[in-house]
Amino acid sequence: MEAVTKGASVSRGRVALSIPAIAENGLSVFTTIAVESPMSEADYVKAVHLFSEKNPVPRIASFYFTPAMAEAKISTNIRLAASQKVTAIAVMSDGSLWSDEKSIVVTIAACIDGG
């Protein structure tokens, strides 16, 4: 996360990270990130970075927006290795950083499949 924030302060707010409180299956967790922004040339979201606390690779994905986007809002499906915190950090065109963080419980499947 430091590579993204470069030591600057990150404020909580403007970012809404939506993930279920309990994951049906850690292999595919529906995630939505929405950032409040007019998405105008003067004021838009440049990037949103999604981080996992406990995955082997902390950065899940990065999304880069331009004012051509109607909203700084995306949905995707992510993999989560264990119950943990997920964090979304938004980088604005004015350089400010905003974030949201959510906790999620990851359950396991029933029968031991392997098939």
Partner 1 sequence: MCAGGSCVMYLTLALFIAMATSFNSRAETRLQSSTSFLSDELRARQNDETVNPGMLWVGEGEELWRTIGGAEGKSCASCHGDAEKSMKGVAARYPAVDPETGKLLNLELRINKCRSERQKAEAFGYESEEMLAMTTYIARQSVGLPISVKADGSAAVYYEKGRSLFYLRQGQIDLSCAQCHEDNTGRRLRGDVISSAVVTGYPAYRLEWQTLGSLHRRLRACSLGVRAIQFPYGSDEYLSLELFLAKRSEGLPLEAPAIRK
Partner 2 sequence: MALAPARVSMPTEAKKGEAVEIKALVRHPMETGYRIDNVGQPIPRNIVTLLTVTYAGAEIFRMEMQTGISANPFVSLSVRATVTGELVFTWVDDRGTVTIERKPLTVT
| Segment interacting with partner 1, rule: CB under 8 A, options 6-14, 18-26, 47-55, 90-98 | 18-26
Distance CA 81, CA 54 (A): 7
Q: What is the separation, in whole angstroms, between the first and last Cα of the chain?
A: 36
| Segment interacting with partner 1, rule: CB under 8 A, options 50-58, 63-71, 91-99, 104-112 | 104-112
- Tell me which DSSP letter residue 31 carries: E
Dihedral (Cα; 37, 39, 65, 22), 10-degree rounding: 30
Least separation in angstroms between CB 95 and partner 2:
19
Question: With binding defined as CB under 8 A, does residue 76 bind partner 1?
Answer: no
3-state secondary structure of 4: helix
Question: With binding defined as CB under 8 A, does residue 43 bind partner 2?
Answer: no
Which two tokens mark 74? 């995306």
- The residues that touch partner 1, with contacts defined as CB under 8 A, are 20, 24-25, 27-28, 30, 107-115
- The residues that touch partner 2, with contacts defined as CB under 8 A, are 27-29, 39, 50, 52, 55-57, 59-66, 68-71, 73-80
